[in-house]
């Protein structure tokens, strides 16, 4: 029974360390992705590539099939 507990504690420690390390990288990547997607939005009009539409869907909290150019323009105005 002791070995199972030890493995669980080691795993918990490793996962916490991984979250600390990778969390910083993910935060930086989210910022880079935001800037990159905003550049795509400024350059083009609907319809965008699936990658951009997926990001837009997440940013607007709306299914991509319901996104209209007015939503994109409003997002560009905000930031």
DSSP 61: T
- Yes or no: say if 40 and 62 are a contact pair by the CB < 8 Å rule: no
| pLDDT tens profile 35-55 | 999 999 999 888 899 999 999
Residue 13: its H or E element: helix 2-43
Tell me the three state secondary structure of residue 20: helix
Which residues are CB-neighbours of 79 under 8 A, at least 6 positions away? 38
Model pTM score: 0.72
**What is the overall mean pLDDT for the chain?**
93
Longest CA–CA separation in the chain, Å:
61
């Amino acid at each position: 029974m002791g070995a199972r507990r030890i493995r669980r504690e080691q795993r918990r420690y490793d996962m916490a360390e991984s979250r600390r390390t990778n969390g910083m990288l993910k935060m930086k990547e989210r910022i880079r992705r935001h800037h990159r997607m905003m550049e795509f939005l400024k350059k083009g009009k609907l319809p965008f590539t699936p990658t951009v539409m997926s990001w837009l869907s997440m940013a607007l909290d709306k299914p991509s099939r319901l996104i209209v150019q007015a939503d994109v323009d409003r997002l560009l105005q905000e930031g």
